[in-house]
Amino acid sequence: MDWGQLWTIASAPDNVPIVALLFLVPFFTWLGFRQARANDRLAETLEGDTALAKTHHRKTWPWKPHWTKEVHVWPFLLRVEFLATIIVTVLLFVWSITLNAPLEEPSNPNLTMNPSKAPWYFLGLQEMLVYFDPWIAGVVMPTLIIIGLMAFPYVDSNPLGVGYYTWKQRKVAVSAFCWGFLMWIALIFIGTFIRGPGWVWFWPGTTWDHNAAVYEVNRDLPVLFGIKTQPWQAVFGLVVVGAFYVIAGLVIHLVITWSKFEKKIFERTTMLQYLVFQFFAISILLSMPVKLLIRQVFRIKYVLLTPWFNI
């Protein structure tokens, strides 16, 4: 175990946000899901007690009949905001006094940094470069992620869960987003803590070896099946990708219609909403981990080979 190497990475001032994320994301996930569980429990109680459901104020926080429903922004909200700005300002001052922003040598096109890493928030895309060609990892995937995020509210046909934390009423939407968010953070984590010189995979705690040469023979799926000429490689690849979309689509369909409640939500979904959700769920949420797995486990580089592009 090379703790020195791990400390060098973890203590780099520019990596502070990633270390912070490792604590912040679990904390806020816990904070959100704790309230979701409380709300779900309340919903369960009220479902079983119609009389109570009619009179209950339907929040897990205390409530007394003589309390007003609303409070004045001045001072009740403004004091919270004021406090928040003070805390953030103090935090920034402490952070800025204790840690210096990195400054390397002057830029030099003749001296390549190794490893040369993107800013931490784009490390997910850089890590994706291992599994996809630049046109997918750098252009198509980010575009799909942005459009997919923007489409999110339009494909979610579930009318429940507006304005309160819940898990039971919105399992599909919440888990779809959390899965994507988790993957994004995980790729950033890999890019920061695991990728070393030459973008070689070094497990946390192993020493970065600048001379490490990896004799990794990457193979293409069509070649593994003995198909070595075009256009058969392209045809084979299209069939495999098509089969992936069909199977993944079936799996996703089973998952989102698992329970009686989910089926009810599915009934409300229009065909267009359903297809758009399927497309983004397969193309972003599933293709990424699948490509990662077949690369890391089976050393397969391309699935679809054409004269113009490979996937």
> How many residues sit close enough to another protein to count as binding (CB under 8 A)?
109
Nearest Cα neighbor of 39 from 156, 159, 170, 152 is 170
Angle between helices 171-189 and 260-268 (to 10 degrees): 90
CB of 1: closest distance to another protein in angstroms?
Answer: 28
As measured in angstroms, the least distance from the Cβ of 226 to another protein is: 26
Q: Considering only residues 123-182, where is the footprint of another protein by CB under 8 A?
A: 125-126, 129, 133-140, 146, 149-150, 152-154, 156, 159-166, 169-170, 173-174, 177, 181
Among 64, 119, 211, 217, binds another protein (CB under 8 A): 119
> Element (H or E) spanning 117, and its range?
none
Among 106, 110, 229, 254, binds another protein (CB under 8 A): 106
58 binds another protein (CB under 8 A): yes
Stretch that binds another protein, among 200-208, 216-224, 227-235, 264-272 (CB under 8 A): 264-272
Q: Which of 102, 281, 297 is nearest to 219 (CA)?
A: 297
Q: Which residues are within 8 A (CB) of 40 and not within 5 positions of it... i.e. 6 or more apart?
A: 166, 167, 168, 169
Per DSSP, the three-state class of 310 is: strand
How far apart are alpha carbons 107 and 98 in whole angstroms?
A: 26
Residue 143, helix vs strand vs coil: helix
Tell me how far, at minimum, the Cβ of 25 lies from another protein, in Å.
Answer: 8
Q: Give me the amino acid identity at 233.
A: Q
Q: Is 93 in the site for another protein (CB under 8 A)?
A: yes
Shorter beta-carbon distance to another protein: residue 88 or 247: 88
Nearest to 193 by CA among 15, 50, 35: 15
Nearest distance, CB of residue 193 and another protein, angstroms? 17
Per CB under 8 A, 287 contacts another protein: no
